[in-house]
Amino acid sequence: MTRKVTKAIFPVAGMGTRFLPATKSVPKEIMTLVDRPLIQYAIDEARAAGITDFIFVTSRGKSALEDYFDRAPELEHALEDKGKKDLLEVLATTNMESGRSAYIRQHSPKGLGHAVWCARRLIGDEPFAVILPDDVIAADTPCLQQMVEAYEEVGGSMVAAMRVPEDKASSYGILDLESESAGGLSKVRGMVEKPPAGEAPSNLAVIGRYILTPDVMKHLNGAAAGAGGEIQLTDAIAREITEGRGVHGFQFKGQRFDCGSKAGFLQATVSFALARDDLQEEFYRYLNEIVPLAHAAE
Ligand code: G1P
């Protein structure tokens, strides 16, 4: 029997320099796809997977995130007075139950592994999930929920995985597979963070969803810097393998958008807008108008 995963860590300490000047005063995770901040997509996915405790690893300048998950009494009263029930329901999705969310600061940017380690005392001796809000995944069954279902079968640690073009492998953590099996679940025999060009063990990349055993936190204790001079989560998970414990890669069903890049963010915006009943028709018509013009201008 695996222990239920109820806690999730959201590393949100990054400076978001790729989105300057917007991120000078707005945390990247508050930037919106259509009308919902990136972090809301991550929270909704976590809730669908049964997560009840939300741990945000933040940094200076991220207080807008705490406000986002707080009550907004004036706004709520104004909407009540106007009878705007639908908008009150939308607001309710941003509320956190008291005592179920925590904000921990990462005082200096030492890498993803270090950010996760900052939450160690809140995780204790339980398995936990990690969600990187930059990786937005559109799926019929939310990605983390798919993973929890698979995890309940195999236990251990698990990372979401996706095939990437070989020339992009050096931007990801890459899996070395022991065996590939049906249902998207593969046993991993090694993983390497951002391998140099031509040295990747495969083209199966780690995507920002993880279910990890508390042992991974132990490996992060005093961990040495890895790729890019940062303390890497990938390295701590790889140690689980060398210590003989099971690590799986899970090829989820769904489409992943890299919202850490401008192109990925725009693709997600277009895709999510086209999926919305209230915008679809008008937006599709607009795209149909401008795409031929863009072709003609080439
Ligand atoms: C992080 C992880 C990497 C993973 C990637 C997925 O890298 O370190 O293993 O493949 O997220 O988005 P980052 O993109 O933060 O450099």
pLDDT at 217: 97
Assess whether the C-beta atom of 45 lies below 6 angstroms from ligand 1: no
CB 235 less than 6 A from any atom of ligand 1: no
CATH of 7-260, one of 3.90.550.10, 3.40.50.1820, 3.30.1370.10, 1.20.120.530: 3.90.550.10
Give per-residue pLDDT as tens, 75-130.
Answer: 999 999 999 999 999 999 898 888 999 999 999 999 999 999 999 999 999 999 99
| DSSP character string of 93-122 | TT---TTSEEEEE-SS---HHHHHHTTHHH
Question: Domain limits of the chain?
Answer: 7-260, 261-298
Low-confidence ranges of the chain (pLDDT < 70): none
Per-residue model confidence as pLDDT tens digits over 150-169: 999 999 999 999 999 999 99
| Site to substitute for ligand 1 among 112, 159, 170, 220, most atoms within 8 A of C-beta | 112
**CA-based nearest residue to 125, from 196, 206, 216:** 216
Tell me the CA–centroid distance for residue 18 and ligand 1, in Å. Answer: 15
Question: What per-residue confidence (pLDDT) applies to 20?
Answer: 94
Q: How far apart are CA 165 and CA 53, in angstroms?
A: 35
Tokens linked to 253: 């069903």
C-beta 113 within 6 A of ligand 1: no
Q: Say what the pTM is.
A: 0.95
Residue 230 Cβ < 6 Å to ligand 1:
no
Ligand 1 mean position to 47 CA, how many Å? 22
